A and B are shown apart, each in its own frame.
Chain A
Amino acid sequence: MDNARARVERLFREQAGGIQATLIRLLGDFDLAGEVMQEAFVAALSFWGERGVPDKPRNWLITTARNRAIDRLRQRRRFLASDASASVLAELGDGDAEIELELGQPIADDQLRLIFTCCHPALTVESQIALTLHTLCGLTSEQIARAFLVPLPTLAQRLVRAKKKIRDTRIPYRVPPPELLPERLESVLAVIYLVFNEGYLSASDDGPIRAELCSEAIRLARLVGDLLPTETEPRALLALMLLHDARRSTRLSTSGELILLGDQDRTRWDRQRIEAALTIVEDALKRGGARPFAIQAAIAALHAQAPRPQDTDWRQIAALYGVLVRLHASPVIELNRAAAISMVDGPEAALQLIDSLAARGELANYHLLHATRADCLRRAGRNDEARAAYQRALECEVSDAERRFLERRLAELS
C-alpha cells in the first residue's frame, strides 16, 4: 500500500504535466483534462494499493482519466444537447485500440503542442504566461499570483478567460504549420524568457518561487529546442538563460543588495553551466546566424568568458548590440548599447547617446535609463548631475535589491 502511494506521488510529481498535456490533446478541454486527471490519480491510490501497480502506470492513468471524461461528457449531453461534447465523444470513440496507438507518441510532443496553444498570440501575453505556468509547469494559481504580484482573483480570472477563448474560438492544439511557425515560435520563446526574467529580476521577494520560474523556463526552452532541432533560436535562448543562471548566486549580496556584473565574485560562477552554454551558443550562431537570441547569448558569453571585468571585450559587445538594434529596434537595446559604448569610448560619448534616447521619451520612467545615465555622469565626475539622476531612478519602479544598490551609490556621492 505504501509502495503504491509512493509510486503515485512520484508519478504525480514527475509526470502530471505531461499526462495533462496528453489529456488536453485527447479531450480538447483544459478544465476537463485537469479534473479527470486528478480523479485518475485518486483512483490509482486505492486501485494500485489493492491490486498492485500496473505494467504501464502512465497509460493506466490516461485511460482511466479518459474513461471518466467520456462518462462526464455523456452526462453533460443528457442535460444539454451540446454539439461540442458530442463531437469530442465521437472523436474519442469507445474502443481502446486507438488510444493505445496514440499513447505510443512521446509525451514531450504533447507538451510541445500545448505550449504553442498556451502561447497563441490571440491570447494576451499575461494570459500566455499564466496559462503556460499553470498547465505546463504545474504551478498553482496562488504561486503564479505571488510570483507576478497580482491579486489571486485577477490571476484566476485571467486563466478562466484564456481557457474560454481557446475553447470558444478553437485555438488549435498543435505545432503550427511551417508558414506560421516563425511568428508562433517567437511568441513561445518570448513567454519562456519573460518567465525566466520574472524569476531572475522580479520585484517579488519570494526566493523559492523565483528559482522555480528560472528552472521551469530552462526546462521549457530545452524541451522546445529538442523537439524542433532545426530551429536555432530555442537553443540560443536556452544558452542565454544558462549563462544568466550560472551567475545567479553572485547577483545579490548577503544583505540583498544588487551586485553589478563588474563587482560579482567570478570564482563563484558556475563554470560547468557556462561551458555547456558556450557550446550551444557557438552551434546556434553557426547554424542560425545573427538572430536575436543568438546575439544576446553571444553577448552574455563574452561577459562569462572574461576572467576579470577589465578583460571584457566591450568593443565586440557594443558591436553586437549594434547588430541587435538593427534586427530588433528597441530603446532598451539602444540603452544597453550605450552602456557598452561607455566602456569603449568613455562616459561622455555614451551620455550623448543616452540623452538623445531620453529626449525621445519612451524610457522616461524606466529606472535603468536614469541609473545608466547616473553611472556615466558619476564616472565623468559630474557628481551633482549624477545625484539628480540616481534620485530620478529611485522615483521609478524598482525591485528592493536595486533600490538598495541605488541608495548606496547615491550616498557615496554625498
Chain B
Amino acid sequence: MQYMLLIYGDEKQWLKFSESEQGAIFGEYMRFTQEIVKSGHFKAGDPLDDTTAATTVRVRNGKSLTTDGPFAETKEQLGGYYIVEAPNLDEALKLAARIPSARWGSIEVRPIAKVPA
C-alpha cells in the first residue's frame, strides 16, 4: 500500500535556523531519503518551493481564475512530500516520525487511493 507523507511546517521557521543548523537538517534529509530508498520504502519525494512561489487556479463556470499565493493562508504550509510503500499504517507512521521536520512541523499521513482500473 502506498502512503503520501505530507510535510507541513511554518516556512519562516527555516530562516530562523542558523546556517550550520540548516546544513545539518539538509544532511539529515539526505540521509533519511537514502535510507528509505535502500529499505525499499521510497517511491517519490521532493521539497517544494515557498508558498511565495505558489499560484492557485480555479475554474468556475468555465472561466479560469488565477491568483497569487497558496489556496489558503494557514500557519503551517505544505513544504514537501514523500510517497512511500508500507505494509500498514503503523509502518508509515514510523517513517513519518523519522522525517526531520516532524520535530518542529507536522507530517500528515494519507493512503493513496486506488482508482479502479
Contacts and interface: CB of A to CB of B under 8 A. Distances in A.
A328 interface: no
B90 A180 contact: yes
B37 to A, nearest CB: 22
A90 interface: no
Interface in B80-100: 87-90, 93-94
A80 B117 CA distance: 10
B43 to A, nearest CB: 16
* Contact residues on B (Cβ < 8 Å of other chain), bracket: 10 to 19
Interface string A164-181: 000011111000100110
Interface of A: 80-83, 120, 122, 168-172, 176, 179-180
Interface in B56-106: 87-90, 93-94
Contact of A170 (B87, B94, B113, B117): B87
A81 B89 CA distance: 24
B38 interface: no
A168 B111 contact: yes
A338 to B, nearest CB: 35
A391 to B, nearest CB: 40
A179 B116 CA distance: 36
Given A168-B113, A170-B111, 16 more contacts: A80-B116, A81-B116, A81-B117, A82-B116, A122-B89, A122-B93, A168-B111, A169-B89, A169-B109, A170-B1, A171-B88, A171-B89, A172-B88, A172-B89, A172-B90, A179-B94
Contacts of A122: 89, 93
A82 B90 CA distance: 23
A169 B90 contact: no
Contacts of B116: 80-82
Contacts of B94: 179-180
Nearest to B111: A169
Interface of B: 1, 87-90, 93-94, 109, 111, 113-114, 116-117
A171 B1 CA distance: 11
4 A-B pairs closest in CB distance: A172-B88, A170-B88, A169-B89, A171-B89
Contacts of B90: 171-172, 176, 180
B114 A170 contact: no
A169 B96 CA distance: 14
B53 to A, nearest CB: 31
Nearest to A180: B90
Central interface residue in B93, B109, B113, by most chain A CB within 10 Å: B93
Contacts of A172: 87-90
A82 B109 CA distance: 23
Nearest to A171: B89
Nearest to B91: A172
Nearest to A84: B114
Contacts of A176: 90
Nearest to B114: A83
A168 B110 CA distance: 10
Contacts of B88: 170-172
